[in-house]
Amino acid sequence: MEGAKKMKRIGVLTSGGDAPGMNAIIRAVARTAMHFGIECVGIRRGYAGLINSDFVMLETNMVRHILGRGGTILYTARCDEFMTEKGREKAVATCKMLGLDGIVAVGGDGTFKGALELSRLGVPVMGIPATIDNDIGCSNYTIGFDSACNTAIDCIDKLRDTMQSHERCSVVEVMGRHAGFLALYVGIAVGATSVLIPEHPVDFEQDIVQRIQNSRLAGVTHFMIVVAEGAGSAFEIARKIKETVGIDPRVTVLGHIQRGGAPTGRDRETATRMGYYAVRAFAEGRSGNVIATREGGIVEIPIEEALTMKKHLQMDRYEILEAIAASGAIHKN
């Protein structure tokens, strides 16, 4: 943008829950900054690092060979102090002390709320969505989702082998406190008997008991129930299955294993594109936006608007799951 202030130095931070692909974003931000003649500073431990002046210069050697690493080399943390006026003042003071002309904030809605506060205090910001839940309303896709799905699928495939060998029922809890994107995607991919998600009221008799009974009558001897953590406790569901159906399920809570591991090709490529576009926006004089994906392309959406947008689960996928699961449990006399 003609007449825009030239960026000399920017910072990048990762905040909230970690997601595979965050390192790919950091690498892309640092290298794109070098391309535009901008210095790049890594802020460690999210907004806490911005308050406490915890940083490192991101030079070429620092970001070499991190593209395929899980986690985040800048670490991540939640910061209650940043939610206070005094905390934000400290963060702005650090930006001034380091001579930062802008901040790239990587994370979810909480991260973007923090970025919006910085923007209101005069710090140029750009946000990049990275969360395995894929629940950021403004973006079709968030970094880490594909990797987390593949990790869960791999784990469940291994569980299925032993469940089939012992003719048992497995109840697997995956992440998704408020959103069922991960559970539903994984459930379809592993051919689950049933998937429980926060967006769909659970009818225990119809969604679980009848599915198991019909499958057993059709000759199936092992069953896989996938539960999003926000849809109920896997242990409680297993207890009810034992009481109602008379089989003894095994519970597996995948937990934080879904956040770890090397990012998939999709996450590496999308993260790299998002990181590039965030820095290019700064170089061209734009800020205050979230880098989002729409119909395969990259777009910029004002942070304030992005935070009001909601993403709804595509319930046709749930209908597909029900149809496929039911057809596999048809009992023929």
Residues with a catalytic annotation lie at: 133
Question: Which residue has tokens 């089989």?
Answer: 247
φ/ψ bin of 75: left (φ > 0), alpha (ψ from -120 to 50), beta (otherwise): left
Q: 60 CB contacts (<8 Å, ≥6 apart)? A: 31, 34
CA distance 156 to 324: 18
**Run of H or E residues at 26:** helix 22-35
72, 23 Cβ separation under 8 angstroms: yes
- The two tokens of residue 232 are 């109920």
Length of the chain (residues)? 333
- Secondary structure letter of residue 207 according to DSSP: I
Q: Where are the beta strands (DSSP E) in the chain?
A: 9-14, 39-43, 55-57, 103-107, 125-129, 169-174, 194-196, 223-228, 250-253, 289-294, 297-302
- Please give the structure tokens belonging to residue 9: 């130095």
Of 325, 324, 299, 293, the residue nearest 311 (C-alpha): 293
| CA 211 distance to own-chain centroid | 30
Contact 217, 245 (CB under 8 A): no
Helix axes 315-327, 210-217, angle to 10 degrees: 30
Q: HSE-up of 48 (CA within 13 Å, CB side)?
A: 11
Taking the C-alpha atoms of residue 263 and residue 22, their distance in angstroms, rounded to an integer, is: 9
55 forms bridges with which residues in the sheet? 43
Tokens representing 186?
């994984």
